[in-house]
Structure 1
Amino acid sequence: MKAYIFPGQGAQFPGMGLDLYENSSLAKELFDKANEILGFKITDTMFEGTAEALKETKVTQPAIFLHSVVLAKTLGASFKPDMVAGHSLGEFSALVAAGALTFEDGLKLVSQRALAMQKACEIKPSTMAAVLGLEDAKVEEVCASINGIVVAANYNCPGQLVISGEIEAINKACEALKQAGARRALVLPVGGAFHSPLMEPAREELATAIKNTTFNKPNCPIYQNVTANAVIDESEIKSNLISQLTAPVRWTQSVQQMIADGATLFTEVGPGNVLQGLVKKINREAQTASATFESTK
């Protein structure tokens, strides 16, 4: 069974999407439409901007979403997923690719999500840290022992978990995790504590936008970050999507469940190949690939 997976923040790179724009009339049409919807030429930053310019929150999330969704749409008849999943932001790309959201609505939600997250980051200084070489349960136990807000945020693969929270609490947790045997506990260069209770203001703002958006039944099950289970019910998809900003990304569990449900090939759709690496670390037997498009010009 074919699983298609969609990357999240951090996968961006200068020049992303330019090959699509230049070689596919459909891609060009979608990128031009995106510029209109967003009210600025995101393509200028994607195609010609620096790595630094691409890191700006209002650009990063829509840029990765656009690269992934446009690539999926240019695959044409060969895009026949049996299941889909996306890592954090990538869940929106997966929903559009699977027909649960229109391209326009997906882009609007991603743009609103980015701005809401940026605002939440400005309310209280916060950060995230990668923890390597410890079991998930031990990381959770250490986080629970720290004063202040610090929680498990991204279950990326066995032995790789990202924690999220207040700066002081993260620093204390990193020290405690090293003492507990972590190979590394490294603060990440991110703008805030994503997938933690500190994102509550963003969750509330995005909840209103999601509730006011029409969702359709997807063409195949989507394995959502919050539950790591197959979902096809529109109201359940909405509810999980609203919870996503303050809940952890259960990527390890999602991939394990997809394999249990019959996934044999995981194709990454979008910039980079980070998710393929994680899939291989979760299950060495899984087959992985990158989506490639055919020129229509």
Structure 2
Amino acid sequence: MSKIAFIYPGQGSQKAGMGADFYKNSPIARDIYDKASEALGLDMKALCFEENEKLDLTEYTQAALVTTCLAITETLNDAAKGSSAMPSESGGGLTPAVTAGLSLGEYCAVAAAGGMDVMDAVRLVRKRGILMQNTVPAGVGAMAAILGMTGEAIEQVTDDMAGVTIANYNCPGQIVITGEAKAVEEACDALKAAGAKRAVALNVSGPFHSPMLKEAGSRLAAELEKVELHELAVPYVTNVTAKKVMDIAQTKALLAEQVSMPVRWQQSVETMTADGVDIFIEIGPGRTLAGFMKKINRAVTVYNIAEWADMEKVISACRLD
């Protein structure tokens, strides 16, 4: 019998129009967007559905993505039970054995695993986005994607360099470095000299997942203390250790630490496949995680639910698996 994981993308997957068809077709999705607008004092429909400059700003991006991904998830959960959200013949249940998310996607993973209310996740990532954007002044930090080099090889070069660390272990051949702008630039030159195919500067507003954001993590920890978490219905895999979390008591510390620690996405996927997961459902805009999966493990099946039409196809396909 197949074992399913729900997985959630991180910042960079956002696009104007995301979730609009779910808002149109699903009362559940409409309720989530409308409640998020009220909770944050933002017009989430305008932010997510219309072309605008705010969507790519970290302080807005994170709340927009989590709102969209969880609106899709809640609609999917309802539709898979054969409710009125979709034709009853689509029913049959679609329950993940585990969840995971890349960076801010981990908040979706915790909520989808039953550990956090949807609106608490939305409020927290709004605050997280503001903290991450404002803790380090613009231009002081930087990030770059290093292509064609293993994480171990990159570590050999950067471990002795001050001011630069690995931010993301995305997949074989794609690692992201982070840190002080000058140190990242120097590391890119050193890594290309050491054999990297390319070093691509990323258009981001800060040195995410670097020690430079420890203050943001500390301030986020104070916000996390205000939120009531719940026992997990299923485990999720944390970015910090790439291990399954089964005790919700660990979650607040891990989410606070995650801001300044590397995202171990490749290792997280390997944890899930080693545990027997053979179907991954990427929930949210884009196909970023599906692209990573092709380089991590081609033996598994990956589905995407970004639009309304995707949902019925995935439910039907998973019923056959």
TM-score by length of 2: 0.88
Q: Deviations over 1:241-295 (max 9, x none)?
A: 111001100000000010000100000011111101111210111110013335x
TM-fit CA distance, 1:35: 0.4
CA distance in structure 1 between the aligned counterparts of 2:151 and 2:193, rounded to whole angstroms: 15
Residue in 2 that maps onto 1:180: 194
1:72 and 1:79 in contact (8 A); partners too: no
1:1-297, aligned counterparts within 5 Å? Answer: 1-50=3-52, 52-75=53-76, 76=78, 77=81, 78-122=93-137, 125-146=140-161, 148-291=162-305, 292-293=310-311
Identity in percent: 42
SS of equivalent residue, structure 2 residue 166:
strand
Cα RMSD of the aligned pairs, angstroms, is 1.2
CA distance in structure 1 between the aligned counterparts of 2:94 and 2:103, rounded to whole angstroms: 22
CA distance in structure 1 between the aligned counterparts of 2:231 and 2:41, rounded to whole angstroms: 29
CA distance in structure 2 between the aligned counterparts of 1:22 and 1:123, rounded to whole angstroms: 38
2:231 and 2:248 in contact (8 A); partners too: yes
2:138 and 2:205 in contact (8 A); partners too: no
SS of equivalent residue, structure 1 residue 288:
strand
TM-fit CA distance, 1:43: 1.5
Q: Deviations over 1:163-187 (max 9, x none)?
A: 0000000000000000000000111
1:226 and 1:250 in contact (8 A); partners too: yes
CA distance in structure 1 between the aligned counterparts of 2:109 and 2:4, rounded to whole angstroms: 14
Aligned partner letter, 1:198: M
CA distance in structure 2 between the aligned counterparts of 1:22 and 1:43, rounded to whole angstroms: 11
Q: Deviations over 1:57-113 (max 9, x none)?
A: 222111111111000000123341100000000000111111100011111111110
Unaligned runs of 5+ in 1: none
CA distance in structure 2 between the aligned counterparts of 1:175 and 1:165, rounded to whole angstroms: 15
TM-fit CA distance, 1:42: 2.1
SS of equivalent residue, structure 1 residue 100:
coil
2:167 and 2:262 in contact (8 A); partners too: yes
CA distance in structure 2 between the aligned counterparts of 1:188 and 1:104, rounded to whole angstroms: 30
1:153 and 1:249 in contact (8 A); partners too: yes
Aligned partner letter, 1:185: A
TM-fit CA distance, 1:25: 1.1
Aligned partner letter, 1:203: G
1:74 and 1:293 in contact (8 A); partners too: no
Unaligned runs of 5+ in 2: 82-92, 313-321
Q: Deviations over 1:37-72 (max 9, x none)?
A: 01121211211123x331122221111111110000
